[in-house]
Amino acid sequence: MAYLPYLIPGLLLFIGVIAVPFAMNIGISFTRWAGVGTPEWVGLHNYRELVKDSEFWASFRHQIALVFGMSLIPALIGLVLAAMLTDVIGKRFGARTATVLRACIYVPQLLPIVVAGIVWSWILAPDTGAANKLLQAVGLGSLAHDWLGDPKTAMWSVMVVMVWFQIGFPLVIFMSGMQRVDPALYEAAELDGASWWRRFWHITVTQIRPEIFVVLLITTIYSLKSFPQIYVLTKGGPGGATNVPSYYSFQNFFDKTQVGYGASVATVLTAITIVLAVAFIRVQQRTEVEGQ
């Protein structure tokens, strides 16, 4: 107990900045409140409304699209790239070449997400944007499009931008995972006549399974907090075509001043995150046990 004093500042700040606000958010979610005046207790009303709210469900479908754009697709691409860089480039062209290529692919991850958003909304701009100019320059002008402004393409465009932004993260993690795979396994498989694809699948993927799991969970949780991306690229538009729960809660808090309703959206979002985080911790503990 002699160490307890060291914990007190941290504990007090934690209670003030995280625990109390979080409890308040849950409390607010049971009220009707415009942010001023006294909140009116409405019980589960907001949650019942949520279940019926088509905008909320639409935002959830977009969230699933974002899980693909920010988690599954980048992880899949990152896995193939990591295998190519480790296996082909690293071995045949030298570790230096592999490092340089990895660094280039990682660069977007270094940008503040807001800046990445500005870069892409400028590239995808309808009239003067580089994407449309490029299409015109190669004679495909008929494909030019208001990528982020058309409800049909907006979500796809956001997904493409997210894939570009995210690939570097799984790539780096997977490459570092592949370094600890025992080369003897590959040599044995090679002598056995296993194809590259079979070695990739049975050795690489199996051996770095913990990394794959961790990357998928982290990026999925990250995709639930996609407020900045959506704010800068589309503001949830056009007509809600790219709205996600994260942005929807913000809209309810500050644009529509339906604070109670926004709080219920944020609470649901947190519940999902906690479920994922618990799964994450479980898996991490299990891999630690296996590792010992």
Q: Which of residues 137-196 bind other proteins (CB under 8 A)?
A: 137, 164, 167-168, 172-173, 176, 184, 187-189, 191-192
To other proteins, the closest distance from the beta carbon of 51 in angstroms equals 19
105 binds other proteins (CB under 8 A): yes
The residue within the footprint of other proteins, chosen from 42, 58, 76, 119 (CB under 8 A), is 119
Q: Find the binder of other proteins among 42, 58, 72, 118 (CB under 8 A).
A: 118
Residue closer to other proteins (CB basis): 72 or 125: 125
Question: Hey, which residues between 259 and 278 contact other proteins (CB under 8 A)?
Answer: 259, 262-263, 265-267, 269-270, 273-274, 277
Query: In angstroms, what is the minimal distance from the CB of 152 to other proteins?
Result: 21
**Residue in 38, 52, 92, 152 binding other proteins, rule: CB under 8 A:** 92
CB of 110 to other proteins, least distance (A): 5
Task: Return the residues of window 210-229 that contact other proteins according to CB under 8 A.
Answer: 214-215, 218, 221, 224-225, 227-228
Closer CB to other proteins, residue 155 or residue 249?
A: 249
Residue type, 191: L
Whichever of 90 and 241 has its CB closer to other proteins, that residue is 90
| SS3 of the chain | CCCHHHHHHHHHHHHHHHHHHHHHHHHHCCEECCCCCCCEECCCHHHHHHHHCHHHHHHHHHHHHHHHHHHHHHHHHHHHHHHHHHHHHHHHHCHHHHHHHHHHHHHHHHCCHHHHHHHHHHHCCCCCCHHHHHHHHCCCHHHCCCCCCCHHHHHHHHHHHHHHHHCHHHHHHHHHHHCCCCHHHHHHHHHCCCCHHHHHHHHHHHHCHHHHHHHHHHHHHHHHCCHHHHHHHCCCCCCCCCCCHHHHHHHHHHHCCCHHHHHHHHHHHHHHHHHHHHHHHHHHHHHHHHHC
Number of residues this chain uses to bind other proteins (CB under 8 A): 97
> Least separation, in Å, of the C-beta of 158 and other proteins?
15
> Which is closer to other proteins, CB of 73 or CB of 173?
173
Question: What is the C-alpha separation between 114 and 108, in angstroms, rounded?
Answer: 12
Query: 277: which 2 tokens?
Result: 């985080």
Q: Which of 9, 43, 139, 291 binds other proteins (CB under 8 A)?
A: 9
> Which C-beta is closer to other proteins: that of 44 or that of 114?
114
Q: Which of 144, 181, 231, 237 binds other proteins (CB under 8 A)?
A: 231
Cβ 141 to other proteins, closest distance in Å? Answer: 12
Subset of residues 235 to 254 that bind other proteins, contact rule: CB under 8 A: 235, 245-246, 249-250, 253-254
What radius of gyration, in Å, describes the C-alpha atoms of the chain? 23
